[in-house]
A and B are shown apart, each in its own frame.
Chain A
Amino acid sequence: MTALLVALGAAVGAPARLLAGRLLDDRTHWGTLLVNLIGSAFLGWLVGHGVHGRPLTLLGTGFCGAFTTYSAMAVQSVDRGGLRGTAYAVGSVLACLGVAWAGYQLG
C-alpha cells in the first residue's frame, strides 16, 4: 500500500517538474527553483498541519519528493559556475528552507 501511494504521488510530481522546467527554465533555472519552492512550502505545511500516515505518504513522500529535486539544482549550479551558480544554489536552499518553515508555521 505504501509503495502504491508513493508511486501515485511520484507519477504526478516528476512529470509536473519536467513541465515546469520546459516552460520556465532558461539561463536561470526558474522552473526548477519554482517547483522546489512550491514543494518545500507544501511539505512544510503538511507536516506542520499534522498530516501523517497514508495522506503524508502520498502527498509528501510521493508527490513533494518527486516534484522537488536536489540533484538538478546541484548540477545546474555547478554548470553555471561562478557567482551566479553560487547565488542560485545558496538562494535555492535558503529560500526553500524559509518557505518550508513558513508552511510549517501556517500548518
Chain B
Amino acid sequence: MTPPRLGVALGAAAAGGILGSLARAGLTSWLPVADGFPWTVFWINVVGSAVLAALPALAAVRRTPWLGVFLGTGVLGGFTTMSTASEQTAALFEHHHALTGILYCAGTLAAAVVAVFAVSRWVPAPDRLAADAAGVDE
C-alpha cells in the first residue's frame, strides 16, 4: 500500500490532529495535576502509543491510506505529545522535584515501549510493514 497524496495526507493529518489535540486538552483540563507526578499526560502518551501500535491490525486502515494518516499521524500524533512530557519533566527539575522528574521521564518511556511491544506481538508482521509503508506512524 502506498501513502496517500500529499494534499490528502496533510488534510487528514490536520483533521485528526485537531481531534486528538482537543481530546488531550480536554483530559488535561478535566484531570489537572498540580505539582506531583503528571499522571494525565503519562496515560495519554502510554495509551496513545499502544493504540498506534494496534492500528495496523485494522483491515480498514490497511485498505484505506488516508484513514491510517488520519488516525495515526493525526489523532494519535495530536493526542500524544513529546513537548509537554519534556516541559513537565524540566519543570519538575526546576521546582526541585528531581526524583519525580526522573520517574516521570523514565517511567513514560518504559511504559510506552512495553505497551507498544506487547501490542505489536499481536499484530502480524506483514500488516505492520504495510502500515509503515503507508506512513501511519509519520
Contact = CB atoms under 8 A, between A and B. Distances in A.
A18 to B, nearest CB: 4
A10 B86 CA distance: 18
A15 B17 contact: yes
A92 B109 CA distance: 10
Contacts of A93: 82, 85-86, 105, 108-109
B34 to A, nearest CB: 15
Interface residues of A, number: 56
A73 B109 CA distance: 10
Contacts of A78: 53, 113, 116-117, 120
A61 B11 CA distance: 20
B78 A14 contact: yes
B113 A77 contact: yes
> What secondary structure prevails in chain B residues at the interface with A?
helix
Interface string B1-27: 001001001110110111011101100
Nearest to B129: A79
B120 to A, nearest CB: 6
Interface of A: 2-3, 6-7, 9-15, 17-19, 21-22, 25, 31-32, 36, 39-40, 42-44, 47, 57, 60-62, 64-79, 89-90, 92-93, 96-97, 99-101, 104
The 7 closest A-B pairs by CB, nearest first: A14-B17, A21-B138, A10-B21, A100-B86, A74-B49, A70-B80, A68-B82
27 contacts: A2-B29, A10-B14, A10-B17, A13-B21, A14-B16, A14-B20, A15-B10, A17-B73, A18-B135, A21-B73, A22-B3, A36-B82, A36-B83, A39-B83, A44-B87, A64-B81, A65-B21, A66-B81, A68-B83, A69-B81, A71-B79, A71-B137, A72-B73, A78-B113, A93-B105, A97-B105, A99-B86
Given A6-B21, A60-B84, 16 more contacts: A7-B21, A10-B17, A10-B22, A13-B17, A14-B17, A17-B13, A17-B73, A36-B83, A44-B86, A66-B81, A69-B77, A71-B80, A72-B72, A74-B116, A100-B86, A100-B90
